[in-house]
Amino acid sequence: MALLDDFLIRAMLAGIGVALAAAPMGCFVVWRRMAYFGDATAHAAILGVALALALDIPVFGGAVAVALVMALTVSTLAGRGYSMDTLLGVLAHSALAFGLVAVSFLTDVRIDLMAYLFGDILAVSRGDLAVIWGGAGLVLVLLAWRWQALLTATLNPDLAYASGIDPRREQLILTLALALVVAVAIKVVGVLLIAALLLIPAATARPFARSPEQMAGIATVVAVVSVLGGLQASLHYNTPTGPSIVCVAAGLFILSSLARGLRQSA
């Protein structure tokens, strides 16, 4: 399609694809207070990128595999005498450091490390678009399929057990979805900013939502607006695109916080 020959159209489609997957997933991250969990999974992805390049396999596959291993490791070790914040801090920074060191050994491979750390949405290809929308579609299917069970397990694990729902299984599904979101978002915002794209739209939507579904819907709108606004700001002011997207999202969060304060004082 000639339309996809325009790099800006490809960038917009890539950003929207990531936003559609990250926003509802981010709601569960906020509800479960998994901010550091998402950060650790994202940081691990750079190690996946290095391994994928070294083994000459698709970057998406390597990022998903290592992000999933990180998420499963955290889930397994949690509650075994380790403080969760300490465990996440150790694993997140260790994975990022090992990933950066591993990348330095790839002398035969040309790699733009900044693109993986902060994203390079303007360089998205048609193949990247297929991967992003395929991964985002899988995340949305997973969430739609297990929405009620995930919600019940998140809000009340005891009620989940009584309803025949295994909270640990739902945690595993969330873990898989999170790894997929991290992998598809690498090209758009980079591993250092993925957690921001997960958290900020959901946090922005929270004051205005009266139901979990409404929060997911508002968060999706906020994420899409952040992507489109960040792209426009990046082109107009010649700023890095990934950070620009996060800056727009942060601006929307500040506005929502001010609106919430005004509404409470009225």
**pLDDT at residue 106 above 80?**
no
Distance (Å, whole) CA 196 – CA 247: 10
Tokens of 232: 């426009």
SS3 state of residue 82: strand
SS3 state of residue 193: coil
pLDDT value at residue 22: 94
Distance (Å, whole) CA 11 – CA 15: 6
Distances (CA, A) of 113 to 97, 103, 182: 13, 8, 16
Distance (Å, whole) CA 35 – CA 122: 27
Q: In this predicted model, what pLDDT tens digit does every residue of 66-94 receive, in sequence order?
A: 888 887 777 777 656 666 677 777 888 88
As separate numbers, helices (DSSP H) first and strands (DSSP E) second, the chain gives 11, 0
Q: In this predicted model, what pLDDT tens digit does every residue of 6-37 receive, in sequence order?
A: 888 899 999 999 999 999 999 998 998 877 77
pLDDT value at residue 137: 94
SS3 state of residue 32: coil
Distance (Å, whole) CA 152 – CA 157: 7
Q: In this predicted model, what pLDDT tens digit does every residue of 124-164 receive, in sequence order?
A: 888 889 999 999 999 999 999 999 999 998 888 888 888 88
Distance (Å, whole) CA 176 – CA 173: 5
64 backbone dihedrals φ, ψ, rounded to 5°: -65, -45
| Listed residue (95, 101, 128) closest to 113, CA to CA | 101
* Max Cα distance, the chain (Å): 63
Q: In this predicted model, what pLDDT tens digit does every residue of 47-65 receive, in sequence order?
A: 888 888 888 888 888 888 8
Distance (Å, whole) CA 160 – CA 137: 26
Q: Of the ranges 104-108, 186-190, 244-248, which one carries the lowest mean pLDDT score?
A: 104-108
> How many Å separate Cα 245 from the centre of its chain?
13
Hey, what CATH topology would domain 2-192 get?
ABC transporter involved in vitamin B12 uptake, BtuC (1.10.3470)
